[in-house]
Amino acid sequence: MLRFGSFVTKAGRTSPYFFNAGLFDDGASFDALCGFYAQAIRESGVAFDMLFGPAYKGIPLAAGTAMRLAGEGVNVPFAFNRKEAKDHGEGGTLVGAPLKGKVLILDDVISAGTSVRESVDIIRAHGATPAGVAIALDRMERGQGEDSAVREVGKTYGIPVLAVATLEDLIAYLADDAALANNLAAVQAYRDTYGTHATR
């Protein structure tokens, strides 16, 4: 799920690493990922009534995490959106439970915050309230200003952002793995250039 090399991010930065949640592409690994989301959500103490997964990567995350939460005795509904409205059958752009109450958004990462903004707009348009955002990896990078992109999203919408793992976790992982340690200097240099310690 982690690749090392040279990758251009949505922000136009050249990053020495890339996290691809789409590579959790079998039952066992995806089940484990959704279990980590469920754990992070429960440990956060954030109050929520349902889950929302923005298209496309958020869709399986919302469904899988809802299943893991149900297995732990927390049964909540979930919904997701389509990129394009369906013009037959039930129609519309939303699939799943009606959006109501406090809605927790699930996505893989926050880059420019576009997906979060669209999700918040959808949730509010249906009379519901965004409760927070849960992501797999907080890259701990500056957004538009000096704050991290994650902190900017939190401030803009007045909601908490929960992360399963952070760049600090990644750096510690690289330092402890002899096979990957040669990537450590490049990741640290990238953080020195674009990073911030204030993520919340």
Dihedral, CA atoms, 128, 59, 87, 120, nearest 10 degrees?
A: 30
Copy the structure tokens of residue 145: 């200003």
Contact 107, 114 (CB under 8 A): no
Of 10, 57, 88, 155, which residue is the catalytic one?
A: 88
Copy the structure tokens of residue 116: 């979060």
Give 126's contacts (C-beta < 8 A, 6+ positions apart): 94, 98, 99, 100
What would the DSSP string read from start to end of 40-69? HHHHHT---SEEEE-TTTHHHHHHHHHHHH
Active site residue 86: yes
Of 10, 57, 83, 86, which residue is the catalytic one?
A: 86
Active site residue 155: no
Residue in 96, 167, 106 with CA at minimum distance from that of residue 132: 106
Write out the catalytic residue numbers: 86, 88
